[in-house]
Chain A
Amino acid sequence: MKILVCVTSVPDTTAKISFTDGDTKLNKAGVQYITGPYDDYALSRAVELKEQHGGTLTVLNVGEADSEPVIRKCLAIGADDAIRVNAEPTDAYFVAEQIAAIAKQENYDLILMGRESIDFNGGQVHGIVGEMLGLPSFSPVMKLDVDGNVARFAREIEGGKETLEASLPLVLGCQEPIAEWKIPNMRGIMTARTKPLKVVEPAGQDSLTKVQKYELPPAKGACKMIPADQAETLIQLLRTEAKVL
């Protein structure tokens, strides 16, 4: 089986977000970058599937040189090789175009990625890639097994889940609990240094949206404290003051 896992390099979930250059750029000072948590789930499941079924596992990142530590970590976790499309991931359509261009040459059986990146939270790339390749796409997938040419999987729907069956190839956006996150071991870290990482230039120039300006949410006012023995007062305040009941 030939698996492609697309990963993002994103600010750590605990990062404090602020902007510079007149609110047009993320302030990267002090921000630690990690593999997108959802992408990490996709990668972990892909490593397990490769262990079960054999085959190859490639990771793909659309990003600039500063995303290479994240790519190396994916290699340490178990990917065989990596491709980096050397471009700033400006917009979902643009990123999907890059992934589709590479997938068209390689005929992957499974193209996995996180349900969304945690920086822009679009959750769009898997669907657009599926459309560009003429392949079925599903998201958010929380369980995945492969039996021969057939994938059996479950996805979350409003208030529950749906189980499905479809033939490969497929494009899937993944989330927990599809697999446990894997931590690279020392041997993995050592071998990752010499695994192939190919850098390619982007295809097409189709960003269809463009960020004009970033904003932070307005500061929250002080929290009004209510003594526990007067808890009932809260209900009254929610009715008359906050007007949400």
Chain B
Amino acid sequence: MSVLIFTELDNGSIRKSSLEAVFYGAKVAQMLGTTATALAIGPAEAAELQIAGNYGATKVLHAADERLAQTNNMAYASVLAAAAQQEGAKVVVIAKSALGDAVAARAAGKLKAGLVSNVVDLPEGDAATLHVKRSIYTGKAFAVTEMTSDVKIITVKKNAVSPETTDATATVEAFTPALNDGDFVAKVTGVEKADGEVPLTEADIIVSGGRGMKGPENWGILEDLAHALHAATGCSKPVSDLDWRPHHEHIGQTGIKVSPNLYVACGISGAIQHLAGVNGSKVIVVINKDPEAPFFKAADYGIVGDVFDVLPRLTKAVQAAG
């Protein structure tokens, strides 16, 4: 028996969210008196994969078949299920993401595994019965959920645990399960991706803008602050509906749900649907010229003022502090 962690690669390196999942999985393994094994799918150097050891994995299974170079939720789920069987894994941990969610669901179907998504804390219980706390109603509540299936799959939200690292490294083993042709029936005809940007779901800090920014041409001052803070940028639904910003930046009930350490809302009034997407954030800062904006009620720090005045001042203050 072991705990298996599905890790997502980005240009041959394990994503930060997946390293958090490795740490989470290692903690669960410790609780169950077993070891944690990470699974990496796609091209990568062994040296990059060993890093999983710093987060508590003792072993990394590396599936590097050429056909797996392109992300593919169905093929990845098949590889994950094969790895779970080989390792006798009873708990599988996956970082929440578009790919992670899709892989988790297919793997749950294959393994007849109970699957709990959006988990926000370490589980309690034992190998037979686990209790996990997950976020529901788009962040408005939590549900403590019991899992009793033989194999249990958990997808974890960012900041479910705060990883501590060691110098330990993991051994990397090639993993070469038979692949099913049926998993490769879709043809990818194009990929559009903003290069070098931190994905919103992984960002420690997010600076986000609403209609109070008055137009897409004004995003420069918001991006300057984001740049100074090494933050990702997001936006409210009206902003993406108006095409001021791309849809993948839309944060809220029907967009991306985020749980960064710091969320800075600029000119966003704070509709309940937007709050639902950000209420997992550790610290919320709201900048709005309307003192009655509902967002202030959900904020930790607030500034009543004009974003066009306040944002450049904040950027300067960050830069001055180095």
Contacts and interface: CB of A to CB of B under 8 A. Distances in A.
A235 B317 contact: yes
Given A127-B73, A165-B187, A92 B115 contact: yes
A177 B247 contact: yes
A72 interface: no
Q: Looking at chain A, what size class is its interface with the partner chain?
A: 35 or more
Interface stretch (A45-53, A73-81, A102-110, A211-219): A211-219
B115 A208 contact: yes
A217 B282 CA distance: 12
Nearest to A220: B298
B141 A231 contact: no
A214 B314 CA distance: 39
A131 B109 contact: yes
B262 interface: yes
B102 A160 contact: no
Interface stretch (B54-62, B142-150, B170-178, B212-220): B142-150
Interface in B65-93: 71, 73-74, 77
Interface string A148-167: 00001001111111111111
Contacts of B201: 158
A214 B143 contact: yes
B147 A159 contact: no
A217 B73 contact: no
B276 A221 contact: no
A21 interface: no
Contacts of A164: 186-189
A17 B141 contact: yes
Nearest to B116: A209
Contact of B105 (A91, A123, A142): A123
Contacts of B304: 225, 228
A174 B299 CA distance: 32
Most buried by A among B101, B112, B247, B314: B101
Interface in A114-156: 118-132, 134, 136-140, 142, 152, 155-156
Contacts of B283: 238, 242, 244
A245 B93 CA distance: 29
A14 to B, nearest CB: 5
Most buried by A among B77, B99, B108, B202: B108
Contacts of B145: 209-212
Contacts of A125: 105
A110 to B, nearest CB: 14
Contacts of B262: 238, 242, 244-245
Interface string B175-206: 00000001001111111111001011110010
Contacts of A242: 262, 282-283, 300-301
B224 interface: no
Contacts of A137: 73-74, 102, 105-106
Contact of B191 (A17, A128, A162, A237): A162
A215 B142 contact: yes
Given A157-B191, A215-B144, A216-B141, A121 B254 contact: no
Given A124-B104, A231-B317, A17 B137 contact: yes
Contact of B101 (A124, A220, A235): A124
Nearest to B105: A127
A127 B116 contact: no
Nearest to A167: B185
17 contacts: A17-B140, A93-B112, A121-B136, A121-B137, A124-B117, A127-B108, A130-B74, A152-B189, A175-B254, A214-B143, A224-B302, A225-B302, A226-B301, A228-B310, A231-B305, A235-B317, A238-B262
Interface of A: 11, 13-14, 17, 19, 37-38, 91-93, 96, 118-132, 134, 136-140, 142, 152, 155-167, 175-177, 206, 208-217, 220-221, 223-228, 231-232, 234-239, 242, 244-245
Interface of B: 71, 73-74, 77, 97-99, 101-102, 104-106, 108-110, 112-118, 131, 133, 135-149, 182, 185-194, 197, 199-202, 205, 229, 247-248, 253-254, 257, 261-262, 272-273, 276, 279, 282-283, 285-286, 296-306, 309-310, 313-314, 316-318, 321
